[in-house]
Copies of this chain bind each other. A is one copy, B any other.
């Protein structure tokens, strides 16, 4: 059987000030710190079972260490390694436990320079007793949680000056499929919205028109329940003196959004509500062209384009 990805699992981000960034990710946004080791803090959202969906490490400057994808089985790790090495890509094996809570893994750079990690095993640690839900199908009790705490990781958005090539490669080499895509009137591809799990967009690959700025991560998105949660998240940011990057709804994916950046590291989080899920094995990519709509946003706008380079 060919190797296969199961889903987007986590992002490993670098910040010049771990405590400062934790103040944003943990105190302001409401992620739960599961464990800390050395200069790395492991965080998960309140409705996640896995050990972490964000690893935050102190470094010289802001950056992206890797984006972590879970494979459907352990065998897929070596099979992917073999396939990638066959393409001339260097693959590094990471021992189990080097990233806390995680089994053995492989790391490599995509042809565009985006660092990826593939792993299969991830622990599901119980929260401390006083934070644990009485519902066995829920991780944290929300009784003392920050009101805006997002639910679970949803997707990442990656920018590159060869986004079209990157999207092709993700399909051919890694088996991603396309859920939606957007072409400019001149026929060039602006964005490809890919999925590993098959149910929702997990990697939005966007054409970066500013050469030299790539490879970059524009944002990671986490799910919240309703549009009022987006306004509540904006409230919290305003109260903390943190500017936000706009509220609205994407046409692509139908996701309602609020963007905000960690003031310390510049990493951007999207709070995302609504959207739709795909369960159809015969899904045909939704093919948008610039002529379909006056604006890529159904309503509202994203106010800044800053992104964090690898």
Contacts and interface: CB of A to CB of B under 8 A. Distances in A.
A70 B136 CA distance: 30
Nearest to A4: B281
A238 B254 CA distance: 13
A143 interface: yes
A134 B238 contact: yes
Interface size class of A (residues with CB under 8 A): 35 or more
A142 B232 contact: yes
Contacts of A274: 228, 231
Nearest to A227: B227
A93 interface: no
B7 A279 contact: yes
Contacts of A180: 137
Interface string A213-257: 000000000000111101110111011100010011101111010
Interface string A144-181: 11110000100000000000000000000000000010
A228 B231 contact: no
Contacts of A91: none
Contacts of A144: 146
A64 B134 CA distance: 34
Contacts of A256: 231
Interface in A49-103: 49-50, 70-73
Contacts of A298: 135, 234-235, 238
A36 interface: no
A227 B228 CA distance: 5
Contacts of A286: 136-137
Contacts of A279: 6-7, 197, 199
A-B complex: 5 closest residue pairs judged by Cβ atoms: A227-B227, A141-B239, A6-B281, A7-B279, A227-B228
Interface of A: 1, 6-7, 28, 47, 49-50, 70-73, 120-122, 124, 133-138, 141-147, 152, 180, 197, 199, 225-228, 230-232, 234-236, 238-240, 244, 247-249, 251-254, 256, 274, 276-277, 279-282, 284, 286-288, 292-293, 298-300
5 contacts: A133-B239, A136-B292, A143-B235, A144-B146, A145-B147
